[in-house]
Structure 1
Amino acid sequence: MSILPRISSATALHGISVVSPSGRRLGTLDDVIVGVTTGRVLHATILLDEPSELGEQLYAVPWEALTLDTAYDRCVLNVPIETLRAAPAFPNRHAVNDADPRLRRMIHDHFGAYRPAA
């Protein structure tokens, strides 16, 4: 039985594996960001197992780019790794300001196929 229920708190999702569509482990789910006024999940942050050549290892991605795989208790990131590596990145959690509308715009501009936050 899966540890991922059909309804979950964001805290319960923290630390689950994030993999590529082929199943290659990329890292872990660091956080899920919710718009308090809309109740909508805006984006997630992923902590990569291997930092990029710039030393950054925390990436912001649209929530819609992830699929929860309850059969294996993990998230599948449905974008190419090259797209992720070019996404908004941060050296650590303290460098991310999730409330900054510029971050949401950067995420939208980079992952164009996903709707921007309201």
Structure 2
Amino acid sequence: MTTHTGHTAAIPASRVIGTDVYSTSGEKIGVIEDVMLEKTSNGIMFAVIGFGGFLGIGEKFHAIPWSVLDYEKSRGGYVVPFSQDQLKAAPAYSINELTGDDGKAARDASYDYYKVPPYWY
């Protein structure tokens, strides 16, 4: 089964982790570091995107709503419909902060910031 954009509806997380992420202008903005799963609803809460830093020092992580990631085969990565400025101004977290409060604080802030309709209603 495929999505409305022609992509497969299922993909292993191991194939997603490590994939580059690009802004709408084509700039590489980061890499998918992980995927947060919501066990009680069997949903994907968000993709964890690493931005900046050097050798793991100073890197910040962003919770990007999974539904906005669109894989572009020509780039070999995901494109998000946000500008570089929007991404830089987005809420950023440490890995530990992303999982605090069962990930709900980061999830809620992310969906609110990016104005993405919540999947959990």
Which residue of 2 is the match for residue 30 of structure 1?
A: 33
TM-score normalised according to structure 1 size = 0.76
Tell whether the 8 Å contact from 2:21 to 2:29 is kept in structure 1 after alignment. yes
User: Residue 8 in 1 paired to residue 11 in 2?
Assistant: yes
Q: Percent identity?
A: 25
Q: Secondary structure at the match of 2:82?
A: coil
Structure 2 spans left out of the alignment, 5+ residues: 1-6
Task: Give the drift of 1:104.
Answer: 1.9
The aligned length equals 108
**Cα shift at 1:117:** 4.2
Write the deviation string for residues 65-97 of structure 1: whole angstroms up to 9, x where unpaired.
21111233201121112211222202x423321
More helix by share: 2
- Over aligned residues, Cα RMSD in angstroms? 2.1
Aligned position for 2:110: 107
Structure 1 94/102 Cα, relative in aligned 2: closer, same or farther at 3 Å? Answer: closer
Structure 2 Cα separation of the partners of residues 80 and 57 of structure 1? 17
RCO higher in structure (CA 8 A, sep ≥6): 1
Q: Normalising by the residue count of structure 2, what TM-score does the alignment of the two structures yield?
A: 0.75
Q: Which moved more, 1:95-104 or 1:7-16?
A: 95-104
- Return structure 1 stretches of 4+ with deviation > 4 angstroms: none
Contact 2:34 2:49 in 1 (8 A): yes
